[in-house]
Structure 1
Amino acid sequence: MTQNIQLIDLKRQYESIKDEIRTSVFDVLDSGNYILGPHVQKLEQEIADYCGAQYAIGVANGTDALLLSLDALGIGPGDEVITTPFTFFATAEVISQLGAIPVFIDIDPKTYNIDCSKIEHSITEKTKAIIPVHIFGQPANMDEILLLADKYNLHVIEDACQAIGSEYKGKRIGSMGTVGCFSFFPTKNLGGYGDGGIIVTNDEQLAKRLRILRAHGSNPKYYHSMIGYNSRLDPLQAAMLSVKLKYLDGWNTRRKELSLRYNEALKDLPITCPYAEDDRRHVYHLYIIQSDNRNELISYLENNGVASGVYYPVPLHRQEVYSDLGYQEGSMPVSEEASKRTLALPLYPEMTDGEQNYVISIVRNFFEKKVSQ
């Protein structure tokens, strides 16, 4: 019998904690503090402690977390920022919004993270920062990135929007660079019920500057020392996220369990399953496979009630808006190949073994039929 398996089921997670969520909402409403205030401060401290950082600054979304971080670090017109083309558009978008130039580096074919061996030759006198993206929940190679940053006096802005809870050699992601940026978009491992984001750092002065930037560049109120933004984490979101944070490690553990079940069940098929480095904790924001028959497989899954997703169909260096940067087809071959072959299978902590078994059976049926044709 055909089932209906979503890529992610947000309602199911809410149902499991709805009484706590509703209580947290009424706590905010009863408090009368609807902009920043104690609920945001509480979450900021909890996230800082969770990540092993000294400071956390709540902002309106993950994109703003990246944007304000770059701005606070003085990145501006003509500066160059090195990053990956295989990520969500916001990673490069924020660089361009400040008048800086994104410099794309191809990815490692196993992890999909930035290929650190290719970074140094692209560093110039204009380079001011590196933005590694811990893509799909697996940390980038921070040792090599931090070594290069130290050698060339560069800032490191960790785009950890997909990777909260992941670890690199025992250290939580977000705490190793100059700043770490997280998104609370509803589909993230720690997702809100709307937009939200946060920045973590160990730099006290940078934290102060970020707090000023998020509130129109003012401190105190109505006294403006810089041009800022209206980018404050909503206390309703903060209160709900505080509830969810205590469940995060358990949810991430379940994501790993499901991912390992997929790996075992699909390992004999002509697909590439996710690769996890031994010295890192992968939190499997998405379960990404590769197939030569990607588009056919997507259609077959859909016809059998299984949702899937493509992350990402066009790498950033080939986006129309960046055509003036001069990247040609073939200039980032690993990213370009991944964009043609990758897809995400359903994965979320509340997924049952039975539902996953159904997805596995549909994937296996697809390839069995391909062999018999």
Structure 2
Amino acid sequence: MKEIPFYKPYIDQRERSLINEVLDLEKANKVETLEKEFIKYIDCGDAISTVNGTAAMHLAMCALDLKRGDKIICSVNAFPSVAEVVRHFDAEPIFVDIDKDDFNIDVDQLESVLKNNKAKKLKGAFISHIAGQPADMNRIYELARHYDIKIVEDATAALGATYEKKKIGSLEADITVFRFNPQSNYSVSSAGIMTTKDEELSRRARLLRNHAIVSEGWDKFGNIGYVYDVVDIGLKYDLNELNAAFAIGQLEKNDDFIERRMEIADIYNRELASCPHVSTPIKKRDHVYTQYIIKIDKNRDNFARELKDKGIYTGLHFIPLHLLSYYKHKYNLRVNDFPKALSNYQQILSLPIYSSLSDKEVLHVCEQIKEIAKNRV
């Protein structure tokens, strides 16, 4: 039986060559190179690299000087890291339901939350771009200006994505966070990036990223200067040279990755268009298909098990945050508090979509889906 993993990285000689340059100890500064190349790729003010995407999120909250009791609005449909980094400050996430078609935050409900907000400590909103399709950012930026809140964009699933033909990270967000590898565990390499056009946020993030140390400088082997001081409570989120080297190789190929995923999405769209019990993604804006999320109209879990029995692995993006034990108990949330997120969660299923997937493998996935679907009542 042929196995098709949910995700598999594409690595070629370029990553090996870059890593070998680091190991030779003579062509270092890959972190600096990555940040400069990322600024050019996104067209952002500054890019601060971190050890992973969650670290970039946490660093963003540190840069904003989030404090106990502050409030951050976020979609209930996001990876746990979004609310998690807010809670690390003993701040409070305010969950908002989703748009049932693109799975992003429901902007009408976001507006309602802002309009009815009585809290003096509402700091901002964390806007996740789900599956590679951006949220309705023009309306969100307008609301942010009107209600004077900060916008942090979670682009961990939107590297290279565009909104009205401009790259996410180059628009009006105060901070945008990215990651390079979608694997949550046992990843080949890991790196995150925080971008901002705000010089003060950039300065603070760079300071806090490495223990809030100020010194005479660092040599090319990473040794600290003779005299140093610590001026704040910092973190240890700076990226190492090996992971930076790998990230450079992946960044150079990112547009090719996007092009290939769009080709795969076209095959899925065509092959599954008339498949019973299956709905393909609704494209409302520019979409780079970091995930390809279908809906199964009945017994999604059994459908996923049958695909796994056929060697095809799938994912869920995402289990709504209010259904997770910590948030459910912490905030006394009920299952039906976010009905659109709940309804979507009961049906969504993410299919394999990555650049090393061949057309033959994609068609095999489609054939197995159609085979399972036709035997459903």
Q: Same fold (TM over 0.5)?
A: yes
- Amino acid aligned to 1:271: V
Q: Is the 8 A contact 1:166 1:172 kept in 2?
A: yes
Equivalent residue in structure 1 for 2:324, among 315, 319, 323: 319
Alignment partners' CA distance in 2, 1:186 and 1:273: 22
Cα deviation for residue 289 of structure 1 reads 0.8
Equivalent residue in structure 1 for 2:196, among 190, 197, 201: 201
Alignment partners' CA distance in 2, 1:180 and 1:293: 36
Alignment partners' CA distance in 2, 1:241 and 1:192: 12
Cα deviation for residue 315 of structure 1 reads 1.2
Alignment of 1:61-76 (within 5 A): 61-76=52-67
Equivalent residue in structure 2 for 1:286, among 282, 291, 296: 291
Q: Is the 8 A contact 1:216 1:224 kept in 2?
A: yes
Q: Which residue of 1 is the match for residue 131 of structure 2?
A: 136
Equivalent residue in structure 2 for 1:273, among 262, 274, 280: 280
Tell me the alpha carbon deviations over residues 285-337 of structure 1, each in whole angstroms, 9 at most, x when there is no partner.
1111111231121121122221112222x311222212222322211011112
1:349 aligns with 2:355: yes
Alignment of 1:100-111 (within 5 A): 100-111=91-102
Q: Is the 8 A contact 1:196 1:234 kept in 2?
A: no
Q: Which residue of 1 is the match for residue 301 of structure 2?
A: 295
Q: Is the 8 A contact 1:83 1:131 kept in 2?
A: yes
Gapped regions of structure 2 (runs ≥ 5):
216-223
Cα deviation for residue 32 of structure 1 reads 6.0
Alignment partners' CA distance in 2, 1:71 and 1:148: 23
1:27 aligns with 2:21: yes
Aligned-residue sequence identity (percent) comes to 32
Tell me the alpha carbon deviations over residues 137-192 of structure 1, each in whole angstroms, 9 at most, x when there is no partner.
1111111111111111111000000110000011111222001101123549xx97
Q: Is the 8 A contact 1:136 1:287 kept in 2?
A: yes
Alignment partners' CA distance in 2, 1:75 and 1:245: 31
Alignment partners' CA distance in 2, 1:234 and 1:184: 14
Q: Is the 8 A contact 1:5 1:355 kept in 2?
A: yes
Q: Is the 8 A contact 1:127 1:154 kept in 2?
A: yes
Cα deviation for residue 3 of structure 1 reads 2.4
Q: Is the 8 A contact 1:184 1:192 kept in 2?
A: no
Q: Which residue of 1 is the match for residue 29 of structure 2?
A: 38
Alignment partners' CA distance in 1, 2:273 and 2:165: 28
Q: Which residue of 2 is the match for residue 255 of structure 1?
A: 261
Equivalent residue in structure 2 for 1:151, among 141, 146, 157: 146
Cα deviation for residue 350 of structure 1 reads 1.4
Q: Which residue of 1 is the match for residue 104 of structure 2?
A: 113
Tell me the SS of whatever aligns to 2:131.
helix
Q: Which residue of 2 is the match for residue 233 of structure 1?
A: 239
Q: Is the 8 A contact 2:50 2:238 kept in 1?
A: yes
Q: Is the 8 A contact 2:70 2:91 kept in 1?
A: yes
Alignment partners' CA distance in 2, 1:339 and 1:348: 23
Tell me the alpha carbon deviations over residues 103-122 of structure 1, each in whole angstroms, 9 at most, x when there is no partner.
00000000000001101222
Alignment partners' CA distance in 1, 2:261 and 2:34: 24
1:185 aligns with 2:181: yes
Q: Which residue of 1 is the match for residue 68 of structure 2?
A: 77
Tell me the SS of whatever aligns to 1:219.
strand
Alignment partners' CA distance in 2, 1:121 and 1:308: 35
Alignment partners' CA distance in 2, 1:175 and 1:327: 36
Q: Is the 8 A contact 1:184 1:197 kept in 2?
A: yes
Tell me the alpha carbon deviations over residues 186-236 of structure 1, each in whole angstroms, 9 at most, x when there is no partner.
549xx9732211111111221111100101112226311211100011111
Q: Is the 8 A contact 1:186 1:193 kept in 2?
A: no
Alignment partners' CA distance in 2, 1:20 and 1:71: 34
- TM-score, length basis structure 2: 0.91
Tell me the SS of whatever aligns to 1:119.
helix
Q: Which residue of 1 is the match for residue 4 of structure 2?
A: 5
- Amino acid aligned to 1:185: N
- Amino acid aligned to 2:281: P
Tell me the SS of whatever aligns to 2:189.
coil
- TM-score, length basis structure 1: 0.92
Q: Is the 8 A contact 1:139 1:168 kept in 2?
A: yes
Alignment partners' CA distance in 2, 1:288 and 1:370: 20
Tell me the alpha carbon deviations over residues 84-138 of structure 1, each in whole angstroms, 9 at most, x when there is no partner.
1111100000000011100000000000000011012223332111110001111
Mean CA deviation greater in 218-227 or 359-368:
218-227
Q: Which residue of 2 is the match for residue 169 of structure 1?
A: 164
- Amino acid aligned to 2:132: G
Q: Is the 8 A contact 1:60 1:196 kept in 2?
A: yes
Q: Is the 8 A contact 2:272 2:370 kept in 1?
A: yes
- Amino acid aligned to 1:288: I
The alignment yields a C-alpha RMSD, in angstroms, of 1.7
Tell me the alpha carbon deviations over residues 42-76 of structure 1, each in whole angstroms, 9 at most, x when there is no partner.
10011111111021001111111111111111211
**Across the two proteins, how many residue pairs are aligned to each other?**
357
Cα deviation for residue 281 of structure 1 reads 2.4
Cα deviation for residue 41 of structure 1 reads 0.7
Gapped regions of structure 1 (runs ≥ 5):
none
**Higher helix proportion (structure 1 or 2):** 1
